[in-house]
Amino acid sequence: MKIAIKINCNILLSVVFCTALVPSAYAGGDIFLPCAQQYPGDDAERLKCYDRLAAPASALTPAARKNIVPDENGEASTTPATPAAVPTRSTERSYLTRAWNLDDLSNRDPSKLGRLQPYRQNYLVVNRTSNPNRQPSSPLIDHNASAPRDMDAAEVKFQLSFKADIGDQRNIDFLGIKTFRMWGAYTQQSNWQAFNIRNSSPFRETVYEPELIATLGTGHVSGLKLINLGWVHQSNGRSLPESRGWYRIYLLGGWEWNDTTSIMVRGWQRIPENSLKDDNPDISDYLGRGDLVIRWEPKDKSQAIAMLLRNNLSRTHNRGYEQIDWATPVRFGDAARMHIQMTSGFGESLTDYNHRQNTIGLGFSFREW
């Protein structure tokens, strides 16, 4: 008697369940019919089949993502569901593509700190200058140091630079532009008199540089790959007489060839300031009106060489700045590279914007594209 009741209960439950699914099956074009055909005598498997068809794809495990469809003879067959095409990261992404995510293949979670990406070089070097700027000056009288500073020629120089995308638009086709991406960026460069123990090893200067950058991608495999429109503020946060700072807007073009060589050309215009608040009215005459960055890295990534050229574009009083960086992986880890940096000219730091010197540094660089 108990066996009969149990069998009848199972039959009743199956009838109720199937009855509840009948409207859905007809509404969906008999999507549940293949389950009944595939498992005519197996209630448990048939119910699992119904669950798989009724559940959203996102709620199923990869193993459960199967779709039961009739074959060409009308017979039911089990085939894996075909997932939507998902872009996969190529192992041969070029430098500009990686740096500005031109192919939209970033694997970082946009809801976490993982969205932070490298911007400029991140490095730490021991630096030595040929001509320490012991008495910084500016055309304004109250911006001139009253007495020479006790400084060492050797110091520690380090830079931290990162960016994060804050919005994008894809599938654009307007005047050769295919994608748009907005970035917020921040760069901080510090010069630390670490060996100046007699003066408590002070920080000589820290320069703060926030930016907003709009990247327009062309979709080209080589040649012109991006155009950047940017707003940037740069200041050292110091009080008088060593306060320095300025605002700029710029236009940058990025070219690349053979996935190894890239060139970025940038021109800027200083945003005018009130003459009473301008710490350095002649800064454009020294830090220039544009720069050029050439970078080369072989495909085996055994080394990377970057050269920065900056110039004021003046025929009568031409002034400039050159910087060469060379980095190669070191044995104790892939995250760090041995780094050599050489500079010459005006503006090695913001306080030194009108001071000429040559420097050489040796240390490490970290997390560059």
* Cα gap 229→248, rounded to integer Å: 11
Closest by CA to 290, choosing from 274, 305, 270, is 270
Residues 111, 235, 239, 262: which is the catalytic one?
Answer: 235
H-run or E-run covering 194: none
Beta bridge partners of 216: 180, 227
**Longest CA–CA separation in the chain, Å:** 111
Active-site residue flag, 235: yes
Q: Could you give the dihedral angle defined by the CA atoms of residues 312, 315, 316 and 319, in that order, rounded to the nearest 10 degrees?
A: 30
* Cα gap 274→245, rounded to integer Å: 13
Closest by CA to 100, choosing from 249, 218, 234, is 218
Pair 351, 323: CB distance under 8 Å: no
**Residue type present at position 145:** A
Q: Could you give the dihedral angle defined by the CA atoms of residues 357, 358, 363 and 365, in that order, rounded to the nearest 10 degrees?
A: 80
CB atoms under 10 Å from CB of 141, counted, come to 8
Residues 233, 302, 314, 317: which is the catalytic one?
Answer: 233
> Which residues are known to be catalytic?
233, 235
